[in-house]
Chain A
Amino acid sequence: MEERIKVSNLVKRFGTFTAVDDVSFAVHENEFFSLLGPSGCGKTTTLRCISGLEQPTEGDIYISGQLVTSPKRNVMVPPERRGIGMVFQNYAVWPHMTVEQNMSYPLRLAKTPKEKINRKMAYLLELLELQGLEKRFPSELSGGQQQRVALGRALSTDPKVMLLDEPLSNLDAKLREQMRFELKDLQRKTGISILYVTHDQVEAMAMSDRVAVMKSGAVVQEGAPHDIYEKPKDKFVADFIGTMNFVPCSVTGRTEQGVTIRLKSGVEFGIEGSSAHEGDYTLAIRPEDIILGTERGVECEVDVRIFLGNVIEYRVRIGEDLFRVQTNSSMRLEPGDRTRAFIQNGLVFPK
């Protein structure tokens, strides 16, 4: 598949501080690609380098096969000539222009014939459900509507590549969820490649074809959402993506499919898929990977129960350690109940 964006060995320093540290990745045709990471890890900076709003210190950037940034070769195509659509974190809709003027501005700059602009506007207004608002000013719109205007503006010139910087972070939970579907839908309908920046892992998981997890300026892991969820490369990724129980443990021996784990309290059980050598580790278990009320498994005691609507979360004590457990089974356990817990899956990471 064709590479729409290619970033290789990107480095950006502000003075002595390195905001982006040797980042490489590629976004393909029709792909929804997310940069995911905690605040300050360099996502925006990476995005701005791609857009041309920021000049990187080192590294090459290609858009649709064309070299647009390369400090080494002295190439720096200005942002307006990269043919990229961009939606800013704060939308950046122009307060002195109406909805229609905002959305048609890129087309007017490109000297598009009048009737073509009108056709395009009608299409976008319908697509984004903004009909009837075209003469309004941004101050007369809700946050969600402003965001759709920003999207419409970015889409108006049919870019092949679109950059979105946390476009949903200013919306309330309900609207955010709705917009997630709409964005994904939009991408499928238009077939553009989207590079999406967020620090919300649920959002990244829900929408992306592929995700790159960043930490202090570097990409730690890249892959499809379920791969990253199931096989996080290290403790940081495991912690950042989804919820995870972390407890100290030691590996005491090998079994056919995996290793035997011993907790501080002396409780022992086996986990599959690991080939760690004997020694001290950190054990990571997802809340949904502990099954309560089974025949097999280790002894445990229910400490707390919380209803979360469709799932129930328990806090159980195994030996001396507390674990979060999520289940949607109809079985009801009360605090103080003793039962057995089967560890379905687990990962060990170096301490």
Chain B
Amino acid sequence: MNPDTAITRRSIDVRYVFMAIVGLFFLAVIVYPLSLVMIKSFSSEAGFTLENYAKIFSQDANIRALWNSVWVSCLSTLICVAAGTILAMLIVRTDIPYKSWLRMLLLLPYGIPPFIGAMAWAQLFGPVGYASKLYMSITGAMFAPWNIYSAAGVVLVLAVYQFPVVFITVSGALGRIDTSLEEAARMSGAGPFRTLIDVTLPLITPAITASALLAFVGCISNFGIPALLGFRARFFVLTTRIYSALSIPDMPLATAMAILLAIISGIPLILERRLERGKSKYTVIAGKSVRPQTMSFGGWRIPVFILVVLVALFAGVVPLLSMLLTSFLKYWGAPLELANMTSSHYKYILNLPMVTRAFRNSVFLAVSAATITMAVGALVSYMSVRAKIKGARTLDFIGTIPYAVPCTMVAIAMILAWSRPPVVLYGTIWVILAAYLVRYMPFSIRTTNATLQQVHVSLEEAARVSGAGWTQTMRDIVMPLIRPGLVAGWILVFMPALRELTMSVLLWSQGAETMGVVIYNMQDAGYTQIAAALSTLVLLVILAGNAVVRKLSKGEISI
């Protein structure tokens, strides 16, 4: 007779209660609103209809937006895959100096909210941007030969902000390649270039493909960049078109377009998961690992290094500096003279009630979203990864569905679900919180799954054998071990939530603005310097947060 039986029986009951609660929570917060979008897109006053979808394809503007979304995303993906792969190879596999610094510089755009990035690029390459003015003063031309407010601008800036995904994935894959595979090619008679083509590239192709799919999804579901750079040129993509449809408001059309967007971005995500699962085919017996070999550039080492530095500065640092500069300019477009510098914008925004309110709102939303999603995520992971309770895997699955749902669609789901009695949240800050919970749930479940998988079951079993009950085991063994992972995960939700734009710009109301919304509205209304000052403050917060995360995770995670 096992003396533990009584404890075991009671603890299973506790777990099932938890599971039921989480299940109901998911049903109400995730399943119900998202399915409303689906239903709404297929219904009219009369009942079931395909009319809404027909409408997408009967209006030229919609078809054009759809087409724009596809080609812009494809082109951006192509650019960032090419740049990301080449730079990853240069950093991981060659002897250029200061690699860790270069890596940090190249990853800088990763920490910058894309809409803030778009503003910075507009300040550089807009009609009166710094780069444009420089060009005009040098050549004496009346206009710069480029225009950031265009399709090309959208493509370029999207590529800059999706590039780090590719860079991180590909350089990871490159670092994991067993270098003896490449050396074997050399011994077989292949030169360095042939080796690259015949061995290295095929081996990292799965990683390149996976990151290309993710980058495509990132591009097509992005709202901030095409909104800030495309509206002016009357260049629309799906996300901005949905935004317009919502402001008419034409709910049926918006829902149908959101579903269409979800399908287009869902397919690559499914493919990516397939790829992830098919990886085992490429694993062979690994012997003692061989030290990574780097290719020598010889005399080209320094020129290549300078080129990479220029790319890194251009992608990450220069836009930030131009943002900083703008935040001190008396008015946007003022000549760059010391007399035109002022710190009054900072004083102004710090005294603006709307800004303090927005800041408070954003912090409140980010803290709540991070705390709730991490708590729920830890429960779900514990039950599916560790306890392996029947049904927990289903919860895990439901919780990760929103990963494939674009932010725009989440926002529409919130409007549909929470603007009618019995629960009216629309028009308050709570509807934004609801949206964040949906959106960030998958991220927290992923981190908690990974964290729990690292804690070996035997540690827990040892506690049980030593006489600790389930609750005691959780408190004394599991929690202390997973705490660092949970804290890092919390910040990984907190940071993007703090600077979120796409959902809050669709859901905000007077008094319930977020930082993202205020910056966007300021920029939209033409107060470029104010928006720049606000952005600079937000970036400082992000930078500080990043430092904290790096410290906590000992350099393994950064935002």
Chain A residues within CB distance 8 Å of chain B: 51-53, 78-81, 84-86, 88-96, 105-106, 109-110, 137-139, 143, 146, 150, 153-154, 157, 169-170
Contacts and interface: CB of A to CB of B under 8 A. Distances in A.
B191 interface: yes
Contacts of A51: 183, 187
Contacts of B293: 53
Contacts of B351: none
B94 to A, nearest CB: 16
A297 to B, nearest CB: 47
Nearest to A84: B187
A86 B181 contact: no
Interface stretch (B81-89, B120-128, B281-289): B281-289
B510 interface: no
B288 A53 contact: no
Nearest to A143: B285
30 contacts: A51-B187, A53-B183, A53-B187, A80-B189, A80-B190, A80-B191, A81-B189, A86-B184, A86-B187, A88-B183, A88-B287, A88-B290, A90-B180, A90-B286, A90-B288, A91-B285, A92-B184, A93-B184, A95-B284, A105-B188, A105-B198, A106-B188, A109-B189, A109-B190, A139-B280, A139-B282, A139-B283, A146-B284, A169-B287, A170-B285
B178 to A, nearest CB: 7
Contact of A110 (B184, B189, B199, B281): B189
A110 B190 CA distance: 9
B186 A80 contact: yes
A89 B282 contact: no
B281 A88 contact: no
Nearest to A83: B189
A139 B284 contact: yes
A258 B188 CA distance: 55
Contacts of B199: 94
Pick the most buried of B185, B281, B283, B284: most chain A CB atoms within 10 A of its CB: B284
B194 A109 contact: yes
A60 B188 CA distance: 23
Contacts of A153: 184, 188
B183 A92 contact: yes
Contacts of B303: none
Nearest to A97: B202
Interface residue tally of chain B, by bracket? 20 to 34
Contact of A94 (B181, B280, B288, B290): B181
A89 B287 contact: yes
Q: Please provide the 9 A-B residue pairs with the shortest distance between their CB atoms, ordered closest to farther.
A: A90-B287, A106-B188, A92-B184, A92-B180, A86-B187, A79-B186, A96-B202, A109-B189, A88-B180
Interface in B166-208: 178, 180-181, 183-191, 194, 198-199, 202-203
Given A52-B186, A80-B190, A94-B184, 5 more contacts: A89-B180, A91-B285, A93-B284, A94-B203, A153-B188
Contacts of A138: 284
Given A86-B184, A94-B199, A109-B194, A139 B189 contact: no
Contacts of A80: 186-191
A72 to B, nearest CB: 19
A130 to B, nearest CB: 16
Nearest to A150: B184
A258 B554 CA distance: 66
Interface string B226-268: 0000000000000000000000000000000000000000000
A96 B282 CA distance: 7
Contact of A106 (B183, B189, B283, B288): B189
Interface in B282-309: 282-288, 290, 293
Contacts of B288: 89-90
Given A79-B187, A88-B184, A92-B184, A170 B287 contact: yes
A201 B287 CA distance: 20
A94 B282 CA distance: 9
A154 B285 contact: no
Contacts of B198: 105
